[in-house]
Amino acid sequence: VTTGTITEPVSERTQITPDVFRDRALRIETEIGKVIVGQRGLIHQIITCLLAGGNALLEGVPGLGKTVLVKTLARVLDCEFNRVQFTPDLMPADIVGTNILVEDERGGKEFRFQQGPIFTNLLLADEINRATPKTQSALLEAMQEGTVTVARNNYDLPKPFFVLATQNPIEMEGTYPLPEAQLDRFLMKLLVEFPSAAELVAISDRTTSGYEAKAERVVSGRDILEMQMLARQTPIATHVTTYAVRILRATHPENEEATDSVRRYVRYGGSPRGLQAIILAAKIYALLDGRFNVAFRDIRNAVLPALRHRIILNFDGEAEGIRHDAVLSSVIEQVPENEP
């Protein structure tokens, strides 16, 4: 469907139109694409997560360009960027910051809060599963609340605030897998696929020939905030929302709408936060598609990244190596669209 041109602002609170939204998003994607070879889907999902105001967990083996991707994104957005390499000896204060004793000009001494690397617009938490749960918890709490509490003082994190955490799926020794409750705080869990042969050739050419691709700044942090606001105002019909609800309920094995694979392999299904993630992501998808309403297919597209880290497999599922995506795909397949 070719959409018309939507030029009017959505409301007084947002000064951008859906077309502007789409244009900005496309520009972001284009600029990132200048640096990152391939990974279009991943870039799309990361932008979706960013515009939805959420945080993303990237899972992939080292060397796939995760750090480069986040750096490029920060450059395109003209936002401050920090990277924290998580290690077992990393302490919470190393992330959120700490009070240090300083001497003022008159010789007096006082505690002054020294911001940690979390005080940034874009934070890359590399190999988050290598830090201790205590450190992980500090980061995830800050992600959820948008504030940092140190010595009874609350410190707001800058806006926009976007965390991209990565974890290596194959090196499990000496890691601390994120608990389910912590995983739930990520809007999306994105899988970084291994590049194709053509993409590998392109990567080789770009990185070994002295050619240095540069991404331009196309949007600001304020622009991102406007886009986030517009995304939340995107209308969604009741029966579409109900469709998302039914999908979510179908991931619960005890629910009567659960599919056979869910009943067999799932111990616990998606949380209400997962529903929020689906709806928000679907709205972004709709806007990126040039629509100002959510369609069923937007919901379907959002299910995998929004729920794959929110369902917990049971012993059978784990033992048989069932992938979360396979279970969710069966749910999408078997839950019919709602009639109004």
Residues that bind other proteins (CB under 8 A): 1-4, 6, 8, 10-13, 18, 232-241, 276, 279-280, 283, 286, 289, 291-298, 337, 339-340
For the range 22-29, what are the long-range contacts, defined as Cβ-Cβ under 8 Å and sequence gap of 24 or more? 22/287, 22/288, 22/290, 24/218, 24/219, 24/223, 24/227, 25/51, 25/227, 25/287, 25/288, 26/288, 27/218, 27/219, 28/73, 28/76, 28/77, 28/218, 28/219
What CA–CA distances, in Å, run from 75 to 57, 159, 222? 20, 16, 14
3-state DSSP assignment of residue 126 = strand
Measured from the CB atom, the residue of 77 and 295 that comes closer to other proteins is 295
Strands (E), 87-227: 97-103, 109-115, 122-126, 147-150, 153-156, 162-167, 188-191
Q: Which residue has the tokens 């290598």?
A: 130
Q: How far is the CB of 285 from other proteins (least distance, A)?
A: 10
Measured from the CB atom, the residue of 207 and 293 that comes closer to other proteins is 293
β-pair partners for 39: none
Measured from the CB atom, the residue of 191 and 332 that comes closer to other proteins is 332
Measured from the CB atom, the residue of 222 and 239 that comes closer to other proteins is 239
What CA–CA distances, in Å, run from 43 to 156, 277, 328? 28, 17, 22
Measured from the CB atom, the residue of 11 and 114 that comes closer to other proteins is 11
Q: Name every residue whose Cβ is closer than 8 Å to that of residue 181 and which is 6 or more positions away in sequence.
A: none
Measured from the CB atom, the residue of 232 and 267 that comes closer to other proteins is 232
What CA–CA distances, in Å, run from 208 to 200, 212, 301? 12, 10, 36
Q: How far is the CB of 231 from other proteins (least distance, A)?
A: 10
Q: How far is the CB of 339 from other proteins (least distance, A)?
A: 6
Nearest CA-CA partner of 28 in 84, 83, 70, 80? 70
3-state DSSP assignment of residue 58 = strand
Q: How far is the CB of 274 from other proteins (least distance, A)?
A: 15
Q: How far is the CB of 338 from other proteins (least distance, A)?
A: 8
Q: How far is the CB of 239 from other proteins (least distance, A)?
A: 7
Measured from the CB atom, the residue of 14 and 55 that comes closer to other proteins is 14
Q: How far is the CB of 19 from other proteins (least distance, A)?
A: 10
Measured from the CB atom, the residue of 163 and 294 that comes closer to other proteins is 294
One-letter amino acid for residue 277 of the chain: A
Cα distance between residue 92 and residue 166, in whole Å? 17
Q: How far is the CB of 2 from other proteins (least distance, A)?
A: 6
Cα distance between residue 117 and residue 94, in whole Å? 8
Q: How far is the CB of 141 from other proteins (least distance, A)?
A: 23
Q: Identify whether the C-beta of residue 90 lies closer than 8 Å to the C-beta of residue 126.
A: no
Measured from the CB atom, the residue of 177 and 272 that comes closer to other proteins is 272
Cα distance between residue 98 and residue 91, in whole Å? 11
